[in-house]
């Protein structure tokens, strides 16, 4: 065998054994029946998929989609001016980029926990608000949809900044100058010239934020306090507490199908690869 | 507009960094409440008296080291093979493993192990966690090493072969040394990703293989505690140093 074949073999083996086979098992389980004690039994059935269309579960799917969409929109809104600032900075560009990347390199769990520390009833925000006499009791800042959204935005913001920065950095400055020469005000230039030209970065960043948000589990679990159920929590719940593996498997397949759909729809418009 | 953009950037970076900074500052607070009393290392001392935290940290280190070494070897060989000639199936599978939601990977691996245990009378333990971590670390290693490979000229290996080296020698004596900084950077990335993982780990860990993130998670579930602040500060510092080293090495 050629050297290349030997070199690719361990990766093939790992991907087949630890990715393809587990996925095939989940696919098979999703068409089986839940046993009396939570096991998996014959006969084959599509019952789990039918249950997905129960309004209760459709609501969870819709909620996850809406949360991921809102998080993506907020990230875009927050990241675009920051990327614009970095791309127009005369000096220290690399320092700014590293400042964007730094929180991404620190533990995701710790970054999520930081918001529990800040938002809880006796947290920094509530303590400060009461010390300043603005509020008299603790505001319910934690364990709601808003906290989850904040956690998602905070967690994935760097994914939005970097691709947008990459396209802005390659933008020909002459285009901006031309717009100014022709009388466009700075904001109009940004809106009508810079934003449309940075579309590849915006699309790439949106995909990179939307996909992990859609399948998020840790953030809604810790910051939603069990009240904000997203599809990731539903999967986890079916495999642990509820012990309904076929249904949990069907939800996983549905989630993967959604992820694949998003990738196909977005990437079809994108000619350049992401990494 | 320039001034507004600058002001906005200040707020943006504050939003990114203040949460972790305040967390660290309050890890040195003597009070368990979020009111500053005076400087104290009491929470750091508490970490070293808690056997659960120490055991979790030890497990995490062992798992991360095994997962890093194995995924770095597999990933580097794979990146090299793909550099010679791309395989769309393999690249696609690697990207797919990156975009799969963690919770789905976690339950799929759990299903795999439970299924295998029908025949093998083994149990979930450290080794199942290591296998799971290898699965998601490979893609990161391939991406980082591939980026380094793209900066190399194929002419180097051709020259070695013209001078009589066989393909293996060309790889071992020419390409691998040139790749070393990329491989080290990839290994450090794999180390941090493995050390940090909670979601997949919690699905495939056995009773005796609780990791540090699992301990932190269990504590965070009960609410904030200055002990978590102290652990977070240490983890952030260690991660920061590792990443700094990795960046330095990559720039070489």
Enter the ipTM. 0.86
pLDDT tens-digit readout, B185-240: 899 889 988 998 999 999 999 888 899 999 999 888 887 688 888 998 898 888 88
Distance in angstroms (rounded) separating the CA atoms of residues B6 and A85: 7
For chain B, what percent of residues have pLDDT higher than 70? 98
Residue A187 domain flag: yes
Instruction: Domain count for chain A, please give it.
Output: 1
Distance in angstroms (rounded) separating the CA atoms of residues A84 and B5: 8
Asked if B104 lies within 8 A of A256 by C-beta distance, the reply is yes
Distance in angstroms (rounded) separating the CA atoms of residues B41 and B60: 24
Contacting residues of B for A18, CB less than 8 Å apart: 109, 112, 131-132, 134-135
Asked if A232 lies within 8 A of B101 by C-beta distance, the reply is yes
Residue A98 domain flag: yes
Between A and B, how many CB-CB pairs are < 8 A? Answer: 231
How distant, in Å, are the alpha carbons of B49, B126, B237 from that of B46? 5, 26, 18
Cis peptide preceding A247, ω within 30 of 0 = no
Query: Would the pLDDT of B52 be above 70?
Result: yes
Domain boundaries, position A233: 55-242+261-268
Asked if A11 lies within 8 A of B74 by C-beta distance, the reply is yes
Nearest to A8 among B87, B106, B107 (CB): B87
Nearest to A109 among B23, B134, B216 (CB): B216
Alpha-carbon gap: A57 to the closest alpha carbon of chain B (Å): 17
Parse chain B into domains and list their residue ranges: 60-251
CATH number at residue A83: 1.10.3720.10
Residue A14 domain flag: no
How distant, in Å, are the alpha carbons of A238, B62, B110 from that of A33? 13, 38, 18
Residue A224 domain flag: yes
Residue A249 domain flag: no
Asked if B224 lies within 8 A of A10 by C-beta distance, the reply is no
Each of the 275 residues of chain A gets a pLDDT tens digit; together they read 588 888 899 999 999 999 999 999 999 998 988 777 767 777 888 788 888 898 888 989 999 999 999 999 999 999 999 998 998 887 888 888 888 887 767 788 888 988 988 888 777 777 778 878 777 777 777 788 888 999 999 999 999 999 999 898 888 888 888 888 887 788 888 888 888 888 888 988 898 899 999 999 999 988 887 666 888 999 988 888 878 889 999 999 999 999 988 888 877 766 554 44
Asked if B213 lies within 8 A of A109 by C-beta distance, the reply is yes
Contact B31/A at CB under 8 A: no
SS3 A34: strand
Mean residue pLDDT across chain B? 88
Contacting residues of B for A12, CB less than 8 Å apart: 90
Chain B residues 150-209 within an 8 A CB cutoff of chain A: 167-168, 171, 192, 195-196, 198-199, 203
Chain B residues 114-153 within an 8 A CB cutoff of chain A: 115, 131-132, 134-135, 138, 142-143, 147
Residue A196 domain flag: yes
Asked if B12 lies within 8 A of A78 by C-beta distance, the reply is yes
Distance in angstroms (rounded) separating the CA atoms of residues A229 and A39: 24
pLDDT at res. B250: 66
CATH code: domain B60-251 is: 1.10.3720.10
């Amino acid at each position: 065998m050629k050297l290349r074949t030997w070199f690719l073999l361990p990766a093939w083996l790992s991907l087949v054994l630890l990715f393809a086979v587990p996925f095939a098992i989940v696919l098979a389980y999703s068409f089986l029946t839940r046993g009396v004690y939570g096991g998996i039994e014959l006969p084959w059935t599509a019952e789990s998929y039918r249950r997905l269309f129960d309004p209760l579960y459709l609501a969870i799917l819709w909620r996850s989609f809406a949360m991921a969409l809102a998080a993506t929109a907020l990230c875009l809104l927050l990241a675009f001016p920051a990327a614009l600032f970095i791309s127009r900075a005369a000096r220290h560009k690399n320092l700014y980029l590293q400042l964007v990347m730094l929180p991404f390199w620190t533990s995701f769990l710790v970054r999520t926990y930081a918001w529990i520390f800040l938002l809880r009833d006796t947290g920094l925000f509530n303590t400060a608000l009461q010390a300043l006499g603005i509020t008299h009791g603790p505001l319910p800042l934690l364990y709601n949809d808003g906290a989850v959204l904040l956690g998602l935005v905070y967690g994935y913001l760097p994914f939005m900044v970097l691709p947008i920065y990459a396209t802005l950095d390659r933008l020909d400055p002459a285009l901006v100058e031309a717009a100014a020469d022709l009388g466009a005000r700075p904001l109009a230039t940004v809106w009508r010239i810079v934003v449309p030209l940075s579309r590849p970065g915006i699309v790439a960043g949106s995909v990179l934020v939307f996909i992990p948000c859609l399948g998020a589990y840790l953030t809604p679990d810790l910051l939603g306090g069990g009240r904000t159920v997203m599809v990731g929590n539903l999967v986890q719940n079916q495999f642990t507490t509820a012990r309904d593996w076929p249904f949990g498997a069907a939800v996983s397949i549905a989630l993967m199908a959604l992820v694949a759909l998003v990738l196909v729809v977005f990437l079809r418009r994108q000619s350049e690869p992401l990494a | 507009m320039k001034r507004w953009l600058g002001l906005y950037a200040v707020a943006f970076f504050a939003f990114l960094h203040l949460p972790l900074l305040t967390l660290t500052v309050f890890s040195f607070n003597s009070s368990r409440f979020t009111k500053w009393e005076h400087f104290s290392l009491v929470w750091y001392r508490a970490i070293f008296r808690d056997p659960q935290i120490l055991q979790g940290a030890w497990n995490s280190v062992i798992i991360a080291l095994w997962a890093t070494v194995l995924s770095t070897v597999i990933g580097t060989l794979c990146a090299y093979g793909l550099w010679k000639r791309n395989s769309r199936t393999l690249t696609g599978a690697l990207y797919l493993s990156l975009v799969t939601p963690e919770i789905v990977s976690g339950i799929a691996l759990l299903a795999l192990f439970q299924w295998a245990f029908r025949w093998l009378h083994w149990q979930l333990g450290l080794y199942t966690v290591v296998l799971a971590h290898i699965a998601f670390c490979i893609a990161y290693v391939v991406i980082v090493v591939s980026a380094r490979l793209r900066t190399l000229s194929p002419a180097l290996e051709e020259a070695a072969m013209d001078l009589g080296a066989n393909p293996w020698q060309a790889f071992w004596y020419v390409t691998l040394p040139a790749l070393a900084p990329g491989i080290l950077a990839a290994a450090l990335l794999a180390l941090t990703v493995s050390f940090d993982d909670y979601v997949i780990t919690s699905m495939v860990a056995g009773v005796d293989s609780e990791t540090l993130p699992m301990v932190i998670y269990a504590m965070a579930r009960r609410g904030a505690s200055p002990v978590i602040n102290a652990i977070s500060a240490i983890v952030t510092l260690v991660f920061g140093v590792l990443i700094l080293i990795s960046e330095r090495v990559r720039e070489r």
